[in-house]
Amino acid sequence: MAKSREEILAEIKKCRAADLSDGMDALGLVNKGSMSTEMRPIRPGISFAGYAWTVRLVPDTRTHKPCETVEEYIQQKNDFCSDAYSFMKELKAQDVTDHVLVIDMDGYPGGVLGSENMMNFHIMGMAGAIVDGGCRDSYECNLQKVNAFSTKRTFHHVTGRMKGDGVNVPVSCAGVTVEPGDYVVADDDGVLVIPQERAEEVVKFAQAILKDDQEARKSHYESLGYQPDETLKRI
């Protein structure tokens, strides 16, 4: 009997991106879901997996007007925000537990992810966020231990630079086409996207690869007198 999405995700979470990438190779899906090496975690040690919840942003043709008052600036920023962050309305209306926000902005260095909204995504139960674009407020994001990957780090705001162009549509993120609901796996090695229709098979190979690796590494730990750690008990 085919496994449920929840069962598949639970199994994916136990594997490393490396095992799942090997599983993709085993099916002939070589390099198919591999995001570009520019896509990096904002600090070492972040690892998560979940269902893709996609957003596409495109360049905004309007530009910032010089403002004379703070009120004028805030008004302008809010107008731009309602376009760039129009996806927030849909996000808030849905159960996005265990989902990964995948934002395609074609590598533009606008800071769509920041220390405020990343905490908001965490509160909503999202596994993490990935952007082919910018993350800002890096110091606070790391202090708060939020799960962000990006191809750029920046101080730029996204507003007035990008605007919404669709949610839960197929997107192209760091070289990979991501369909809503695909499995997104992120760890220190990078980001891998597993097509939902092949995930169960990928996991089968990945588990066998991981099991072999655990056994080999366990015996190396013994030879070197290392204490076993959690990486020997993933499955």
Ligand X SMILES: O=C([O-])CC(=O)C(=O)O
CB 181 within 8 A of CB 196: yes
Residues 6+ apart with CB under 8 A from 5: 51, 196
Distance, in Å, from the CA atom of 174 to the CA atom of 191, rounded to the nearest integer, reads 9
Nearer to ligand X by C-beta: 112 or 206? 112
Q: Count CA atoms closer than 13 A to 173's CA, side-chain side.
A: 36
Binding residues for Mg(2+): 137
The helix (H) or strand (E) run that includes residue 11 is: helix 5-14
Nearer to ligand X by C-beta: 15 or 113? 113
**Residue 117 interacts with which of ligand X, Mg ion, none, CB < 5 to 8 Å by class:** ligand X
To ligand X, the closest distance from the beta carbon of 116 in angstroms equals 3
**Residue 190 interacts with which of ligand X, Mg ion, none, CB < 5 to 8 Å by class:** none
Q: Which residues bind Mg ion (CB under 5 A)?
A: 114, 116, 137
**Residue 99 interacts with which of ligand X, Mg ion, none, CB < 5 to 8 Å by class:** none
Q: How far apart are the first and last CA of the chain?
A: 21
Nearer to ligand X by C-beta: 58 or 232? 58
To Mg ion, the closest distance from the beta carbon of 141 in angstroms equals 9
